Amino acid sequence: AGEGFVNAQLERKDTRLLMTMALHAADIANPAKPQVIATAWARRSMEEFFRQGDREAELSLPVSPFMDRSKVPLAATIVNCQIGFINVLVRPLLSEWAAFLGPEAERDILVQLEATLRLWENSGAKVIDSWGDFSSVSGKAGASEAAGGGTPSKKGGKEGRKTESGGSSTRNLQA
């Protein structure tokens, strides 16, 4: 463990703060995972954002930033969203968290995070092109997921999980 644990006698409030920080770090750490995972979760996040923006437009509300699929070029919206997410939210927290945990965590977390940031900066449009069409609700990648049809599997089928009532449900996990 890093210096944060040396001779530490934590009070309950300190333990709660550390647990809260660990949970928040885990919640936003997808860009610090291997790129195949990081980009898959970025795609899911953008699908969710665009569904929210679609709903806001249906309700005649202003569409929130980064949630408007009608912005042209759409790839720039997605790339800017991911770069901003990393620079403004993820890197500041994970830098401090990794320093607290020690050199191994700094290496494991921050090296991958920087690689993901470089991917978005240098090849973000290519990543987005590989996702398919986000420009319309019906044409966007993941439309069946948005409709509750499960997530597409590698074999072209749908994966889902059974709910307690026996129905099928998709996982609604966020980046």
- Model confidence over 76-96: pLDDT tens digits? 999 999 999 999 999 999 999
Provide CB contacts within 8 A for 115, sequence distance 6+.
35
pLDDT of residue 72: 87
161-173 residue pLDDT tens: 333 334 333 333 3
- pLDDT classification of 38: cutoffs 50, 70, 90: very high
* Spatial distance between the Cα atoms of 33 and 41, rounded to a whole number of angstroms: 10
Residue carrying the six token digits 């590989």: 130
Residue carrying the six token digits 């997410």: 85
pLDDT of residue 5: 57
Q: What is the pTM of this model?
A: 0.72
pLDDT of residue 10: 74
| pLDDT higher than 70, residue 55 | yes
SS3 26: helix
% of the chain exceeding 90 in pLDDT: 65
111-131 residue pLDDT tens: 999 999 999 999 999 999 999
Provide CB contacts within 8 A for 172, sequence distance 6+.
none
pLDDT of residue 2: 54
147-162 residue pLDDT tens: 333 333 333 333 333 3
Phi, psi (degrees; rounded to nearest 5) at 162: -80, 140
SS3 156: coil
The candidate with the shortest Cα–Cα distance to 146, out of 164, 156, 134, 155, is 134
